[in-house]
Structure 1
Amino acid sequence: MRATFALRNAARTPLIRFLGRRSVPQSVDHSPRPHPASPSGILPDSFAAYRSKAQQHGPLGRASFSQGIGRNAGASLGPVQPKQGEFFDRAELPTRFHRLPWTEAEIEAIETGGASLFA
């Protein structure tokens, strides 16, 4: 008990030591600049121009949305068939790849949290 009391009364010293005084820069340049890893090294003319060319899981521009995806029914986009050797669902795979049924021992082990394996 006394050790805890003594530690509480001790002056706390931070583990981090900063060198020098805190100083705020007088002027900071916030003008936009291209990223150092930019492939072109130039800034786009405007955000709208950038967005019209950007791709993220498909085109970001509004023109692409107004023409197809989202406005029309999915059936109007045409049939969707997997390519040769591709499957959309595990049930379409050969039987050797189907899920195995649970055994009674496995179900019992899960329900008891594994305690039945050691009893």
Structure 2
Amino acid sequence: MQATRYLLQHRQPMIRFLGKRTAPPKLDHTPKAHPASPTHSLPNSFAAYREKAQQHGPLNQKMEYSTSGAIGSHSGSSLGPVEPASGQYFDRSELPKRFRRTPWTQAEIDAIESGGASMF
């Protein structure tokens, strides 16, 4: 018991703390466009960004809410057309046949359901 107490009293941590961390004084916090941005510029305001943005339909349309006030009270077609660009697909079933999912065979289904025991 005494030996353990003696060892713990003279223990030194392996981590050495050098002191208070400070940010470099020449650090630039001004907003910049992302290097992979297609326009390489920042929008003037959030409202200007929303005018051009599209997510599940155009965002710039002013929608009149029904008496319930719910956004879900409008049909999807009232948001405008949402078409993928050429070469883009929304679902794997729209791809050419070589890129579609292959159906499961009965042997694979049996192997999964038995935990692999039916393979041996």
- Considering Cα pairs closer than 8 Å and 6+ residues apart, tell me whether 1 or 2 has the greater RCO: 2
Normalising by structure 2, report the TM-score. Answer: 0.43
Normalising by structure 1, report the TM-score. Answer: 0.43
